[in-house]
Amino acid sequence: MKKLLLLTLGLVLFLGVGNATIAVDSLLKVLDHTLEERWHYQIQKENQIDSLKLLAFEAGDQEELFVLYGHLFDAYLPFDTDSAYLYAQLRLGLAQSSQEDDWLVAARLNKASVFNATGLYKEAVDVLETIDFIQLSVSNKLSYFHLGRTVYGAMSDFAPYAEIRKSYQQIVDNYRDSVLLHSQPGTSGYVLAKYDELSDQNKYQEAIDLLWSDLDVNEGSDHYKAIVFHLVANAWLGLGDQEQTLYYLALSSVYDLKAAVKEYISLWQLAEMLYESGDVERAYRYLQTSLDDATSGKARLRTIRISEIYPIIEEAYRAKIEAQQQLLRRFLLAITLLAGILVLAVVLVLLQVNRLRKARQALHLVNEKLGHLNDSLTRSNNDLKVLNQSITDSSLIKEEYIGRYMEQCSLYLTKMEDYRRALKKKVVAGQTTVLEEALRAPGAVDQELKEFYEGFDETFLRLFPTFVEDFNDLLMVSEQVVLKSGERLNTELRIYALIRLGITDSDKIAHFLRYSISTIYNYRTKLRNKAAGDRQQFENEVMKIGLEPIF
């Protein structure tokens, strides 16, 4: 598979120089395959880092350790900025203990590079200002100028005001001129700085030709190739050639993924261009990969930049997926309808063949039987409708009966109480001493109430025989209602029995049970608080007791 990838990439490179339109699609397929294999490249990167760590662990002296820490820093900077910062700190510690000036400068430049990668431009500038570049070695001096150009270039890109951008750009030009002055023509540092100068002058074709003259493009690392191809893409973008821009952004992205770096630009810029050209699915996949890598590598600045365009492409991708799903549903519906029509046609053909084979008399008998069956089915359906209506009416009559029963019984008790009061008035008026004594005895009314409630309990439990068990199932185990010996319902259960019958007004319940409204309210609140489930739905669950489950 790897050989096939290299062969395809070689063919794409061959086509890319003069046939970018043809090559872009092939290169995007290579990029898609590289995306699928990117975990393999990441494992290679981690193995390389582990090897460097082992060498550092076994280092014999500080100089060797300082160099190995530098290699680890270079490996981590585009891969994990937090780890890169750790090794920059370790290098700084070695430099301070050894009092080597070149080491100290190199370690500080490493820290400034991490600050630049994470968007801490002020901190990067502060580090640069602590360094006296006049006293630096040639290599450190070039690193200093290159980093200064990079930091102020990024600050210029993000500056919101024209005058600030102009001042930063002047500093960028000064650093770039210093790079050109101290670099050997033909070296990578010189080529990149000269490219920057030519791009600012809109000499994009000269910039492209210059990049191709850099020998490191062919001999350098995958990461360096990714950087150069990204610059080539930007030059083609300046020339207005979208196909060439797409081609070299894709090529840069392939090398970024092969280098297993997390901090890159090409892939999410390519995603943005593909989105604008209508390839929403690829754009979303590439942008999601870029965001995942930037987050994984702690490339916070890249995460912010990607997040600016992510919602737009994500929304377009979601809309496309929804449209595809809708279209698929329509196709499935159409296929289902066609299949149904086909099945129906086959059945009709078979029936027709059967009819042609049979005699007219047999056909008449079959039709007659079908008629009888249809009549029977119609009668069965009518009977079922009548039965359903009967069940519905029975249910309505049952609830109406219970309501009337309760209302009349309550009225009866009220009348008895009124009658008792009337008789008592007569006694008080001196009409008869016997009546007065009888009326003072509450036993008759209490007995009526007791019999009334017993009758209510019996009638209700006949309708809802499992009410007590079902009601307790709605309560916490420790709070379930326990009836006394001989009790069928107690006051708490009677309150919720009335609620089950549809009487939810606390005033009516209080009147029925001969309690105050506040007492009824307290009972209801207390039981709601004991509910095993949602307290707000407790009484709604009580209303479902005795209902047949619907499947």
Say whether pLDDT at 423 is over 50: yes
Residue 389: which pLDDT band, with cuts at 50, 70 and 90? very low
Token pair 């297993």: residue? 260
Say whether pLDDT at 390 is over 80: no
| Residues in Cβ contact with 89 at an 8 Å cutoff, skipping those fewer than 6 apart | 111
**Residues 262, 296 contacting (CB under 8 angstroms):** yes
Residue 15: which pLDDT band, with cuts at 50, 70 and 90? very low
Say whether pLDDT at 368 is over 80: no
pLDDT digit string, tens, across residues 459-498:
888 888 999 999 999 999 998 888 888 888 988 899 999 9
- 324 or 361: whose pLDDT is higher? 361
User: Please, how many CA atoms are within 13 Å of residue 54, restricted to the half-sphere of its CB?
Assistant: 6
Which pLDDT does position 398 carry in this prediction? 60
Q: Give the residue-averaged pLDDT of 179-184.
A: 86
Ramachandran quadrant class, 546 (left: phi over 0; alpha: psi -120 to 50; beta: rest):
left
- Give the whole-angstrom CA distance, residue 314 versus residue 165: 32
- 213 or 16: whose pLDDT is higher? 213
Q: Give the residue-averaged pLDDT of 347-352.
A: 89
Classified as helix, coil or strand, 489 is coil
**Residues 179, 194 contacting (CB under 8 angstroms):** no
CA 150 → CA 21, 175, 367, distances in Å? 33, 9, 92
Please report the domains of the chain, with CATH numbers, ordered by start residue. 43-131 (1.25.40), 394-543 (no CATH)
Which pLDDT does position 107 carry in this prediction? 92
For residue 222, the tally of other CB atoms under 10 A from its CB is 15
Which pLDDT does position 235 carry in this prediction? 92
- Give the whole-angstrom CA distance, residue 378 versus residue 380: 5
Classified as helix, coil or strand, 373 is helix
| Residues in Cβ contact with 262 at an 8 Å cutoff, skipping those fewer than 6 apart | 78, 79, 80, 293, 294, 296, 297, 299
CA neighbor of 313 nearest in space, from 352, 355, 349, 268: 268
What is the SS3 assignment for 93-149?
HHHHHHCCHHHHHHHHHHHHHHHHHCCCHHHHHHHHHCCCHHHCCHHHHHHHHHHHH
Say whether pLDDT at 141 is over 70: yes
Average pLDDT across the chain, whole number: 81
Say whether pLDDT at 290 is over 70: yes
For 26-30, 68-72, 110-114, 354-358, which range has the lowest pLDDT when averaged over its residues? 354-358
Q: What is the pTM of this model?
A: 0.55
Which pLDDT does position 332 carry in this prediction? 84
pLDDT digit string, tens, across residues 300-311:
666 666 766 767
